[in-house]
Amino acid sequence: MTTAWTIAVAAVTAVVTATATGLTVTPRLDARKKRIGDAHAARDAFNTHLTTVLMASARLRNFQLPSADDPACTSVVRERLTTERERWLQEIDEATQWRSDHVAMFAGGWPHQGAD
């Protein structure tokens, strides 16, 4: 009878512990997991927009339109190049606007320098 009693107590204890954990700890862990996942997704979005600004700025800095009297550059090519530069500027504007609109998601996670 002692062995059966020990097994029964162990089984009841395991069930009670699993139920209590499932009702109290698991929901908190799931909520924490979601917050961490959301934070990583937000950081990835921020980095994507930051990279867009950096790359478009580098392209604009490194690429100059050919001069107007360049015989190798036709008016069609000049128009296409001008349109492409305008698209890069638009990318910078959109990515910068997104970062400004969503700064509250990131500002709390940045290290602050105190006044000396």
Mean pLDDT of 80-107: 89
pLDDT tens per residue across span 74-86 = 888 889 999 999 9
Mean pLDDT, the chain, rounded, equals: 85
What pLDDT sits at residue 19?
A: 85
HEC letters along 68-105: CCCCCCCHHHHHHHHHHHHHHHHHHHHHHHHHHHCHHH
What pLDDT sits at residue 113?
A: 54
Q: What is the dihedral of CA 18, 20, 22, 26, to 10 degrees?
A: -120
What pLDDT sits at residue 110?
A: 58
Q: Which range among 62-66, 93-97, 110-114 shows the weakest confidence by mean pLDDT?
A: 110-114
